[in-house]
Amino acid sequence: MYQYTVSSRKVTLALRYTYSLIALLFMYLLAGCGSQEGASTKATSTPSPQKQEARCSINNNNNQSAHTLYAVSWDAIAKDADNNQGTSTLHVTAFDTQTGKQLWQKVPTQITTMYQSSRQKVVDGVLYILASTYQKPTLLLAVDTKDGHLLWQREYKQSDIQIFEICAGQIYLAMAPTDTNAKPTVSLHALSAKDGEERWVYASEEMRFLSSLIATKETLFATELRINTDQINVIALHPEDGKVSWRKEYYNKGEGEKFKLLATETSVIIIRQIDPNPTYTGISHITSVQGLEPSSGKVTWETHMPVDVGAMNAVALGVQLYLSGLNFNPKAPKGQEAILMRLDVNTGKLLWHRFHNYNQLTLISSQEMIYAYKGYGNVPTPQKELCALDPASGKEHWCQKTLQPSLFSLNTSQNTVIAVEAIQPGPMELHQNLVALSKQDGHVLWQQRWKTGSSKDTTVTLVTTAEGQDTQTIAVF
């Protein structure tokens, strides 16, 4: 998923829209490679030499301390909020996570339209920000994290950018033209991360939709839906020229949302529904999880899981695969129950599973902890909680019950967990607090009101600079 935050104007409508959007998408915040964007962050640990060689260069923080985090915020001045008319001011802020002290705050570029959200990634000391609004130019800019000055920016006026990845010195954008009659519907563009200049384009006249992209140093892995067929292709592309090295065909009743692609250093993971009419007997296995060899696409293992792939999200971190979905159980209140599972990426072996009542789960690639949210969406109690789960067992380590942490911004830095707390005192107000929690037990270390400009409508997204980390949100029910 993509990272989306909420402005105070029309808060109720915006929250309803955001929850709906997040339920459909992964949320990947600031990952240098790996798919999908999100609402949360990463922690500080250094990958082993072997993993670092296989992965992209992610969030290499050469110029700031390990206690520095960034925030991207938008101050909106709305002329017509219902139609997203007005102007915005973009602020980029660096602050110390130990104290909350602001190190600097800059306005890297002038904005002439209204944006209220963005996706962003920090790679090799550069913050890349992608802001897009329906029927507005998509804005892509690069900001130096040393002092917040603008390095370069590009505008795309005729395209909706659906995928945004950065790996090994290249930016990858999956673009859909605003003209729905144009062919092909989606094209993949590779840009230079240094200056934003285009290097190559991959497009196929038969391609209807490019649903996911996983970028590594050696290969790009993507899924594409074919026009007027039930066929879904998994393709491997060369990063230097965008040419296809192998293609593997699947048939999935044309339901792209029930087909998922992930990748690690050693394996490509394919998840798909194989039983379109699941029973409630507990016998029918409805989800196939496959491991593919990255160089050839050959299937190395396959296992079946009794979860609903349509409601399932998945994250592959290191040698572990986490699946969260709905398990069919006729004894459960609604005939199904939420389940979280951890598998070995290289073999498909189930390591543990547990049933849960969380609304969202966020994983950090250091595997230091799994962060779980309660009390969001259509739940019996409005009480909001942030819990830390042990990734080795899935059991709760601590829960923070005194805050109302936002689903959309969670970061970690050394010994702290940084969260945005969104308080809605009235239907037209939204206050945002920046809160630091102890990783050890979840107690509040410091808390302060978030401030940027003088605008009443402000959104804020936290950004991390920890090297070699990747944060992904895997479940919203």
Residues 190, 200: contact at Cβ < 8 Å? Answer: yes
- Examine residue 49 and state whether it is found in any structural domain, yes or no: yes
Which DSSP letter does residue 268 get? E
Peptide bond into 49 cis (omega under 30): no
Query: What's the half-sphere exposure (Cβ side, CA atoms, 13 Å) at 123?
Result: 27
The reported pLDDT for the residue numbered 362 is: 84
Name the residue among 188, 232, 194 with its Cα closest to residue 214: 188
Residue 360 maps to a domain: yes
Residue 3: inside a domain, yes or no?
Answer: no
* Distance between CA atoms of residues 436 and 448, nearest Å: 9
Residue 1 lies in a domain: no
Instruction: Give pLDDT, residue 199.
Output: 96
Q: Domain holding 284: CATH number?
A: 2.130.10.10
In a domain, 157, yes or no: yes
Distance between CA atoms of 255 and 277, rounded to whole angstroms? Answer: 14
Structure confidence at residue 26 (pLDDT): 26
Task: Give the range of the structural domain holding residue 243, as residue numbers without chain letter.
Answer: 11-476
pLDDT (0 to 100) of residue 456: 57
Residue 275 lies inside a defined structural domain of this protein: yes
Question: What is the reported pLDDT for 76?
Answer: 79
Residue ranges of the chain with per-residue pLDDT less than 50: 1-55, 57-63, 466-469, 477
Residue 4 lies in a domain: no
The reported pLDDT for the residue numbered 428 is 64
List the end-to-end C-alpha distance of the chain, in Å, as a whole number: 14
Question: Total domain count for the chain?
Answer: 1
Q: Which residues contact 147 (CB under 8 A, 6 or more apart)?
A: 104, 106
Find out whether 216 and 256 touch, Cβ atoms under 8 Å.
Answer: no
Whether 42 and 412 have beta carbons less than 8 Å apart is answered as yes
